Amino acid sequence: MTPVRKATIDDVELVAEFGHRFINASDAPPATLEECRTFVAALIPHPQGGVFVSERGVIAGTVGPLYYRPDFLQAVELFWWAEDGQGKPLLDAFERWAIDEAKVHEIYMSTLEGFTPPAIDVLLLRRGYAASNKTFRKVVR
């Protein structure tokens, strides 16, 4: 298992490739590899961004306030792609960053219906997460 570390600008290509794999494997709207590069090149150095990488995976998210409570910070996972058992170490790094560095009050992890393996739900529940929202999507273009 490869070590997990905070991504640097030198990791843009690797993070973009993992993000692109996630997009292509899921039912997310399509994106080019170049669009992924542009996004992660802005996210990695952003003060509210948390991006962690290993040779076999990535997890990325942002921190922001609860819309009606600017003092109540939330970390929101944007994408998580893991191969070869890297999922838990990536999640560990993301949680440590969110709690210790970003000082958040809540962490939001999302899963995709029909795509995320059921074991991920079990993992998140065992780690103290609770299902809290249900999202519906309507494609209009």
Q: State the CATH number of the domain containing residue 94.
A: 3.40.630.30
Residue 38 falls within a domain, yes or no? yes
Give the chain's domain count.
1
Residue 1 has a pLDDT of: 65
Q: Is residue 137 in a domain?
A: no
Query: Which pTM value belongs to this model?
Result: 0.90
Assess if residue 31 is contained within a domain: yes
> Which stretches of 44-85 are DSSP H helices?
none
**Tens digit of pLDDT for each residue in 60-91?**
999 999 999 999 999 999 999 998 778 999 99
What is the side-by-side strand order in the sheet with 69-82? 5-6, 49-54, 57-66, 69-82, 106-108
**For 2-49, how does the pLDDT look when each residue is reduced to its tens digit (9 = 90+)?**
799 999 999 999 999 999 998 988 888 899 999 999 999 999 999 999
Does a structural domain hold residue 136? no
In a domain, 108, yes or no: yes
CA 135 to CA 112: how far, in whole Å? 10
pLDDT above 90 (res 137): no
- Decide if 36 is inside a domain: yes
Residues 6+ apart with CB under 8 A from 54: 1, 2, 3, 4, 5, 86, 89, 90
More confident residue, 51 or 28: 51
Summarised one tens digit per residue, pLDDT across range 98-113 is 999 999 999 999 888 7
Q: What is the dihedral of CA 23, 10, 48, 19, to 10 degrees?
A: 10
Q: Is residue 111 part of a domain?
A: yes
Give the residue numbers spanning the domain of 41. Answer: 5-126
